[in-house]
Amino acid sequence: MSALIEVKGLDKAFGGVHAVEGVSFSVEAGQVYSVIGPNGAGKTTLFNLISGLYTPTKGEIRLKGESTAKLEPNELAERGMCRTFQQMQICMNMSAIENVMLGRHLKLRSNLFTTLFRLPALLRDEKSCRERAAELMEFVGCGEYLDTDASAMSYGALKRLEIARALAADPKVILLDEPAAGLNAVETAALEKLIRKIADQGTTVMLVEHDMKLVMGISDRLLVLNYGRVLAEGTPEEIRNNPDVIAAYLGG
């Protein structure tokens, strides 16, 4: 069977700057796959390429064998890819649970007619959607915020809310961009548990993260980027003992 995500010779240039250059790797279904590297190494750019927000300058990305070159982010979501952002993207004009319900957008069968006249089909759909969203908020640990306005929630709670929204679409693969950034030690420990729970349910997790303890603990494989290029790729054990990585990143 081919890998869930295959990246081959990926290149992204902004003007003369190569943010990502000649990157190749593949992620098997069910793995926790982390991307690490110093600031400016191209990690977020890589995520933006995989999730379809950027178009590659060169190279190709395959999701379940299908090239994603011509697909919009919403079409990738239809194929089971969801993500969170380093700079959180929460709809502040909505309540917490509405943000998660938005994540279930693709699962809902409603049209303009049932909506305008609020027919029973819509109400049933909405009820189950709300229940599932509440369940997910409980799962990520912000169940107490259901009808709170998103704008009134704390940073840590919003980070978890964004994960709940990504999970609401029942994704095959979820991309988490620095989920631990700005969290304290207790919150980070809770996050680690949450990522494990997500992985245990069979969802593939791709992670960009700076917290080495977190990354080394939960990843099946790691990709180390430096100046947009692959420095090393392998299991946490291999990465820890890789002399290039030690020199460039872990600081010897």
Partner 1 sequence: MLNRFMQMRLRDLVILAVILFALPLFLNNPFHYDLATQMAIIAATVVGLNLLVGFAGQISLGHAGFFGLGAYFTGIMTSNYGWSSVPALVVGAILVGIVAWIVGRPILRLKGHYLSMATLAVGFIIAIILNNERALTGGPDGMPVPAFTVFGWELSPFGSYNLLGMELNGSEAWYLFAAVVLLVAVWLAQNLIDSPIGRALRSVHGSEVAARVVGVDTARYKSLVFVVSAIYASAMGSLYAHFQGFITPAVAGFDFSILFITMVVLGGMGSTMGVILGAVVLKLLPQVLADFQELETVMFGAILMLTMIFMPKGLLPTIQTAVGKRMKKKAGGQA
- Shortest Cβ distance from residue 93 to partner 1 (Å)? 5
Three-state SS letters, 217-244? HHCCEEEEEECCEEEEEECHHHHHHCHH
Q: By CB under 8 A, is residue 92 in contact with partner 1?
A: yes
Query: What's phi and psi for 112, nearest 5 deg?
Result: -60, -35
Residue whose CB is less far from partner 1, 19 or 81: 81
CA distance 40 to 196: 27
Q: Which residue type is seen at 138? A: E
**Residue 102, H or E segment:** helix 96-103
Q: By CB under 8 A, is residue 207 in contact with partner 1?
A: no
Q: What is the DSSP string of 150-213?
A: GGGS-HHHHHHHHHHHHHTT--SEEEEESTTTT--HHHHHHHHHHHHHHHHTT-EEEEE-S-HH
Instruction: Write the interaction track for partner 1 spanning residues 210-249; mark x where CB under 8 A is met and - where it is not.
Output: ----------------------------------------
- Shortest Cβ distance from residue 173 to partner 1 (Å)? 12
Q: Which residue type is seen at 181? A: A
- Shortest Cβ distance from residue 198 to partner 1 (Å)? 16
- Shortest Cβ distance from residue 195 to partner 1 (Å)? 19
* Token pair of 196 as six digits: 């494990």
Instruction: Write the interaction track for partner 1 spanning residues 51-90; mark x where CB under 8 A is met and - where it is not.
Output: x-x------------------xxx-xxx---xx-x---xx
- Strand 221-226 relative to strand 229-234: parallel, antiparallel, unpaired? antiparallel
Burial class (CB in 10 A: 0-12, 13-18, 19+), 235: exposed
- Shortest Cβ distance from residue 191 to partner 1 (Å)? 20
Q: By CB under 8 A, is residue 98 in contact with partner 1?
A: yes
DSSP state of 30: T
Q: What share of the chain is helix, strand, coil (3-state, %, to 5)?
A: 40, 25, 35
Q: By CB under 8 A, is residue 10 in contact with partner 1?
A: no
Residue whose CB is less far from partner 1, 29 or 121: 121
Instruction: Write the interaction track for partner 1 spanning residues 125-144; mark x where CB under 8 A is met and - where it is not.
Output: xx--x---------------
Per-residue burial over 162-177, b if 16 or more Cβ lie within 10 Å, else e, is bbbbbbbbebbbbbbb
- Shortest Cβ distance from residue 109 to partner 1 (Å)? 9
- Interface positions, 166-185, toward partner 1 (CB under 8 A): 166, 168-169
- Shortest Cβ distance from residue 8 to partner 1 (Å)? 23
Q: Which residues bind partner 1 (CB under 8 A)?
A: 51, 53, 72-74, 76-78, 82-83, 85, 89-94, 98, 101-103, 105-106, 108, 110, 112, 115-118, 122, 125-126, 129, 165-166, 168-169
